[in-house]
Amino acid sequence: MNNIEFKYLILNAKYFTKYEPIIEVCNDEIFAYEALSKFEIDNNLISTEDIFRHLHHNNKLFFELEKRNKQLQFENFNVDKKLFLNFDADIFVSSEQQSYWELFLNDKKDNIVVEITENGSDDETSANIMRDFSSWLSSKNIDTALDDFGQDGSMFSFYMMNGSKYIKIDKSFLRQIEANRNYLHYLKGVLKTIKLNGQKSVIEGVETKRDYELVKELGCDYMQGYYFDEYLIVK
């Protein structure tokens, strides 16, 4: 995607949010929702990952876009449940950005969980930015979730893991178990560690009845995925 194509996409794309339910494993009730950004142009969905990857090279535009997105995601959410909001630490690097997000998050912290996402880079600068963002959220008593734990290419940090109230297990765990049942023991070990640390686990990628039945057997706290009905608001 070149700069001209990207500018056209940002100016012309229709933005909407999909609110995906996070389900309590013990009783199948909805615990919370995660707000997922979606972009559509010419009636075709555009990969959110591609857009955000491009935006990492334009911090100012990334910040402005996410200001709009997060405001809409929160304002249009009319359900009495917690809302998980994805945040990339790269939009929290300047004093202006930090001041804005502090004001935005402070009066909402009882109702939201900040889901810390990685930007796809494993260099030392990115790791430090994520660590600083996690530390700031903790100092403000804002609940956090570590996203995509175990995803291919993601960095592993005990600091990030220990500082999060919720650990979201990447869908790749379930896909690996489909290919090799022995990987089930890895997942059981991760879930046991999360529980012993007093944290909550969320298994992502529950897409089939088989996935659902497996997750129920594992005894994690929450599950999430296309298997469950979506709560959708279009703006």
Q: Residue ranges per domain, the chain?
A: 3-233
Give percent above pLDDT 70 in the chain.
83
| Cα–Cα distance, 110 to 141 (Å, whole number) | 9
For 89, which DSSP code? Answer: G
Parallel, antiparallel, or unpaired for β 30-41 and 82-88?
parallel
Among candidate residues 217, 172, 225, 222, the one with its CA nearest the CA of residue 199 = 222
Write the pLDDT tens digit of every residue in 137-174.
999 999 999 988 887 766 667 778 888 999 999 999 99
Long-range contacts of 49-52 (CB under 8 A, 24+ apart): 50/1, 51/6, 51/9, 51/10, 52/88, 52/119
**Choice among 9-18, 71-80, 111-120 with the minimum mean pLDDT:** 9-18
Fold of 3-233: TIM Barrel (3.20.20)
The amino acid sitting at 64 is: E
pLDDT of residue 61: 82
- pTM listed for this prediction: 0.87
Among candidate residues 126, 119, 8, the one with its CA nearest the CA of residue 53 = 119
| Cα–Cα distance, 164 to 137 (Å, whole number) | 10
CB burial of 186-210 (b: ≥16 within 10 Å; e: otherwise) equals ebeebbeebeeeebbbbbbbbeeee
Distant-in-sequence, close-in-space partners of 206: CB < 8 Å, separation ≥ 6: 174, 212, 215, 223, 224, 225, 226, 227, 228
